Structure 1
Amino acid sequence: MFFMMLSCFLLCFIFCVYFCLFRVTLAPCAPKVRNNSQRTLKADATCTPKVNLMFMKTHKTASSTLMNVLLRFGEKHQLRFALPDGRNDFFYPSSFFRTQVKSYQPGLCYNIVCNHMRFNAPEVEKLLPADAFFFTILRDPAQLSESSFHYYKAYVPQTWRIPGGNQLEEFLNDPSRYFNPQGINAFYLKNLQFFDFGFENNLEADDVRVQESIEFIEKRFQLVLISDHFEESLILLKDALCWQMDDLLFFKLNARNVTSVSPMSPELRTRAREWNGADWRLYRHFNATFWALVENYGRSRMEEQVRELRRRNAEMEAICIDGGGAVEAGDITDGHMKPWQPIGKASILGYNLRSDIERQYEELCRKMLTPEIQYLTDLGVNLWVTRLWGCVHLLDLH
């Protein structure tokens, strides 16, 4: 009897130790998230925080800032991420397949997918529980085209022969003169958001397939955010996911220095939207649905929540950031905090951590300010492909 009790005790002890050591990898697919201030959405219904999430991370839409929010939430609640393997995206621009997930095993269930991919709904759905919340973010294609043109032009050979001081304006004045849809990385130049969702990016805006694609996105994604109204987007996301304001605090990541941003006249904006006609139609549709959600939420309530978010972010800036704002990469003293820099003049800003941060805020401050590449490395992703490309990048610069 004694030996039986001793054996049971040892088995329980081993199980407890094993669980404590490996609880992150053994996290259940849909764990309960404790919400100490559970709130009421309607008079007769309380909400439960959502933890099974698919964030379709589109390019140049403040998505890296939002990804940081998701990574912090997932770590805090010991959720299981579906992470890429070898690089910081799922082999973009190739279509996504679940076998691209790090340490993928058939039948393994994940809580959060949030890295760049070219969306492939059936493959993504096989990674997540049936109740997973799908959301994404869009940006006015005029602003997006300016950002993507300068950020990626070194990787798009057909832009190299564009003359003049303002290459974007020259390109948009006569795109057909320079654009080759079959060229290397040509998708960066036309309807990039449509391409990210897995659709044909060279469709004209009036093509029936554009409307069909928009309808597909509307059915598959429960929420489409607008980066041009980022704070309002976060408030809607907080409401949809039943999260707390603390979960949504953020600093802008992967932002360019204003000196590398080309001003766009109203005429140039119009040309950019016409050239990216499918994206413009996509954006207008979901911009309308976005503001309908804001109206339903309540304008005055939204304004109050945005003010509170800004107040809390300002508090964190004072607590975390040395100098109070972003700086050039060369002025960042901690190498682990330096953001990835594209080839060319598109300088990406980063932050210096204060040296006198109170202990209770140290971890949060560091995570809020950690660039995507370093954060993924901290999560155990071996980014050897990304780092190899970074070495080529440095050789090119020299």
Structure 2
Amino acid sequence: MLHSTSGRGRIGILIACTSFISFGYFGNTKYVDIFGNGRKSQTSNSYITSLLEYSGVPNGSTYRHGYVKNTIMKTHIAFLKVHKAGSSTLQNIFFRFGLKHMLNVLVPKTGNFLHGRYQIMPLKQNEHYDIFACHTYYRKDKFESLLPADAVKIGIVRHPLDRMISSAFFYREVSRFKYLKNVPSKRFVNNLVNFPEKYDPKYFSFTRNSMARDFGFPMFKPSDIKNIREYLDKLNLEFLLILILEQFNESLVLMKRFLNWGLIDILYLAKNAHQHEAVFFNETEVEKIKITNFLDYEIYEYFLKVFEMKLKNTSKDFYDEVTVFKTVLEKVGEFCNTKNDKLVVESSKWNDEFTVFMRDCALMNRTELSFIAFIRRKLTEN
């Protein structure tokens, strides 16, 4: 039996032909692969001007209306960037939103991982950060100390088996982590699964309970069911929304509604990369993965149920909006591969007419490190 990313609980052979370093348009194709109260203070004119050059926002625009008229957008957002779960695409969305709406986007002084407050670039007096979307390990007090009190938290999860495969190949072939380079290349992932005590012995690693580490889990035992569920319930109260990678477009439309954003704010482009050979698991190996990654399975299954409940509580026209969103994504993807000046997206029940420019394509295509460096440079100039 084929085990697929959406096949919760199904066991058998899994075929994973391609992984994606950062995710883009999913459409109908299945891909295998943060942070005092008070109103926003004014940023310097030079900073605003430089951002407008990249965002196509008319000078003087505020864009504080939501997708529902007479509502206010949520502009204080902490996104937990979960490793190898399509989070680079989400990060790009949050970065672009911050630039477009002239917000302060928090990035570390160096690198792309925020370890502590010493890495935070200082702002001018009476200013605060509005958006955080870089890697860190979740801790409630850390997140809430870096953004205004009304900030909301967003996260994302991915099926643990597919996340582990993608992570294994990426961190072996791209990041060249030593513990993964030590695994024989023939039947690489199978060796990693069958001999964890030899190749992947740590409780937390990039191929073992990685989502749990990102969400700040303690080192629970599999028998600590009560404590695990209590921690999951706590996370569910602290996060406004946990997205599901396997339902990426549905997740974005739901997030758009929760944040009162516009459809233009959740656009993204496909970024396909890092192909690897097919991976086949037998039933015994799948069961071993469930044991070594037991926390990640608990997280995924819990938040998949929460997500499905939230979908049930949406309006009847939700999937109509998802269909419109997919159509717009196709048009934007085609436009960004042309040499046209602009694309005018017509209005619908869920969006006003808006225009996409080639500079928007450039921002959607921008890599994580390049985007972080750009934001860091603009913050330094102030």
TM-score normalised over the length of structure 1: 0.71
The reply to whether residue 53 of structure 1 matches residue 70 of structure 2 is: no
1:238 counterpart residue number: 256
Distance 1:250 1:105, change over 3 A: same
Deviation (angstroms), 1:379:
1.8
Counterpart contact for 1:249–1:313, Cα < 8 Å: yes
- 1:19-58 CA distances to partner (integer Å, 9 max, x unpaired)? 5335579xxxxxx953567526xxxxx5311000000111
In structure 2, stretches of 5+ residues that fail to align are: 1-42, 51-60, 344-355
Distance 1:261 1:304, change over 3 A: farther
Aligned length: 313
1:306 counterpart residue number: 322
The reply to whether residue 149 of structure 1 matches residue 145 of structure 2 is: no
1:203 counterpart residue number: 220
Counterpart contact for 2:169–2:276, Cα < 8 Å: no
2:54 counterpart residue number: none
**Relative contact order (C-alpha < 8 Å, sep 6+): which is higher?**
2
1:361 counterpart residue number: 357
Distance 1:291 1:33, change over 3 A: farther
Partner of 1:54: helix, strand, or coil? strand
1:36 and 1:128 map into 2 onto residues whose CA distance is: 21
Counterpart contact for 2:105–2:375, Cα < 8 Å: no
The reply to whether residue 66 of structure 1 matches residue 66 of structure 2 is: no
2:298 counterpart residue number: 281
1:39 counterpart residue number: 68
Residues 235-244 or 144-153, more deviating = 144-153
Deviation (angstroms), 1:250:
0.7
2:327 and 2:187 map into 1 onto residues whose CA distance is: 38
Deviation (angstroms), 1:64:
0.4
Distance 1:120 1:369, change over 3 A: same
- 1:123-162 CA distances to partner (integer Å, 9 max, x unpaired)? 2211211111111001111111111111113544333333
Partner of 1:379: helix, strand, or coil? helix
1:194 and 1:364 map into 2 onto residues whose CA distance is: 34
2:286 and 2:262 map into 1 onto residues whose CA distance is: 37
2:101 counterpart residue number: 77
Deviation (angstroms), 1:266:
5.8
2:133 counterpart residue number: 114
Counterpart contact for 2:67–2:262, Cα < 8 Å: no
2:357 and 2:278 map into 1 onto residues whose CA distance is: 33
2:358 and 2:180 map into 1 onto residues whose CA distance is: 44
Distance 1:209 1:78, change over 3 A: same
Distance 1:199 1:107, change over 3 A: farther
Counting only pairs closer than 5 Å after superposition, residues 257-272 of structure 1 correspond to structure 2 as: 257-260=274-277, 262-264=279-281, 268-272=285-289
C-alpha RMSD of the superposition = 2.9
Identity of aligned residues (%): 23
1:294 and 1:284 map into 2 onto residues whose CA distance is: 15
Distance 1:281 1:363, change over 3 A: same
Distance 1:260 1:198, change over 3 A: same
1:293 counterpart residue number: 310
1:376 counterpart residue number: 372
2:267 counterpart residue number: 249
Counterpart contact for 1:142–1:272, Cα < 8 Å: yes
- 1:157-211 CA distances to partner (integer Å, 9 max, x unpaired)? 33333335211112212322433328xxx611210011112223x5333324422
| Pairing partner for 2:153 from 123, 134, 139 | 134
1:102 counterpart residue number: 121
In structure 1, stretches of 5+ residues that fail to align are: 1-17, 26-31, 41-45, 91-95, 322-353, 383-398
Counterpart contact for 2:183–2:191, Cα < 8 Å: yes
| Pairing partner for 1:219 from 234, 237, 240 | 237
Q: Which amino acid aligns with 1:205?
A: P
Deviation (angstroms), 1:81:
0.9
1:199 and 1:188 map into 2 onto residues whose CA distance is: 14
